[in-house]
Amino acid sequence: MPFQNRSSRTRQSTVLLVGIMVLILTIVAVLAAVLLANGTKETSMQLLHWKDRGTTKNLQEVILGRCYNYITTVNPELRDKDCQKIWETIQKAFIYKNPCNITTEDYQPLLDLANHTVPCNKSLFWSKTNDLVHRYTKTNHNFLTLEDTLLGYMADGVSWCGKPSSPGINYESCPKWSECESNPLSVYWKMASKMFAEGACGVVQVMLNGSIDAGAFRNNSIFGSVEIFNLDPEKVSTVQIWLMQNIGGPPSLALGCMHQWALNTSHWKLAPILVLHSI
């Protein structure tokens, strides 16, 4: 029966075809599910795993302790500041928030509470000379750095950031500047630096690192991008630059672009001082 034979063969190949299609569809579905699952896992991991260290343990105690120490022993003129409220506004600025979406508005209440200025002729700015500048101010009390203001003092060496899920604080990791600029620490330091610069008056000191290949004045540093633009030409008469040069190291004359900028705006007399020091 050739006809029946042909039809059963057709049926067989139809079954085979359907079988293969089902198999292919299953494989595609499984693959899609695996890839999708992998994708969502990856994005949720990204939200939690940042490259910088996480929030400092006992952050509240550290901030409160430093605040009380500052207003009682470091700078008693500020004894009327409310440390408890200052801590609450810091906390409110970042907890339960996306750590890449912090704005200066988040910190505005803090700025209103902690804002203060330093006396004229006493401001000392620095860039890439962290160790040296603070060794210097520890023994010589003529000058004050950002870390000698209340905001700088509370946050020096401390880190914090939030996350949307409970408990709202990420103790495992926090975003680096390179991962996202609008993170709680970067925004805090930019804001504190701006306040520090806005308040400066008279003769202003800047301690730069003369042994940096890319140049002592870098326009992407906090000093080069925030502080210098917030110095008030009405109040600041002179910017005195201390160029700290490693003894024996190659000289760096890369103040060039800062000179250019100062000349363009003809705001200040720049008075560079070359200081040699050994480490």
- Catalytic annotation, residues: 120, 201
Cβ–Cβ under 8 Å, residues 236 and 122: no
Which amino acid makes up residue 125?
F
Stretches 1-9, 49-57, 127-135, 146-154: which one binds ligand NAG (CB under 6 A)?
Answer: 127-135
Taking the C-alpha atoms of residue 107 and residue 184, their distance in angstroms, rounded to an integer, is 9
Stretches 10-18, 33-41, 134-142, 263-271: which one binds ligand NAG (CB under 6 A)?
Answer: 33-41
Instruction: Note whether 38 binds ligand NAG by CB under 6 A.
Output: yes
How many Cα neighbours within 13 Å face the side chain of 39?
6
* Nearest in space to 202 (alpha carbons), one of 118, 133, 134: 118
Helix (H, G, I), strand (E, B) or coil at 215: coil
Specify the residue, 107 or 160, whose C-beta has the smaller distance to ligand NAG.
107
Q: Is 88 exposed, middle or buried (CB count within 10 Å of its CB: 0-12, 13-18, 19+)? A: middle
* Nearest in space to 111 (alpha carbons), one of 85, 137, 135: 85
Among 18, 48, 257, 274, binds ligand NAG (CB under 6 A): 257
Taking the C-alpha atoms of residue 62 and residue 91, their distance in angstroms, rounded to an integer, is 13
Instruction: Note whether 123 binds ligand NAG by CB under 6 A.
Output: no
Instruction: Note whether 37 binds ligand NAG by CB under 6 A.
Output: no
Instruction: Note whether 56 binds ligand NAG by CB under 6 A.
Output: no
CB of 112 to ligand NAG, least distance (A): 6
Among 47, 59, 64, 203, binds ligand NAG (CB under 6 A): 203
**Cα 267–chain centre separation:** 29
CB of 32 to ligand NAG, least distance (A): 11
Specify the residue, 202 or 251, whose C-beta has the smaller distance to ligand NAG.
202
Taking the C-alpha atoms of residue 228 and residue 200, their distance in angstroms, rounded to an integer, is 11
CB of 110 to ligand NAG, least distance (A): 10
Query: Is the N-terminal amide bond of 164 cis, ω within 30° of 0?
Result: no
Stretches 52-60, 111-119, 136-144, 228-236: which one binds ligand NAG (CB under 6 A)?
Answer: 111-119
The residue assigned the tokens 């440390």 is 83
Residues of this chain that interact with ligand NAG (CB under 6 A) are 34-35, 38, 42, 98, 101, 111-112, 115, 117, 120-121, 128-129, 131-132, 202-203, 209, 211-212, 219, 244, 257, 279
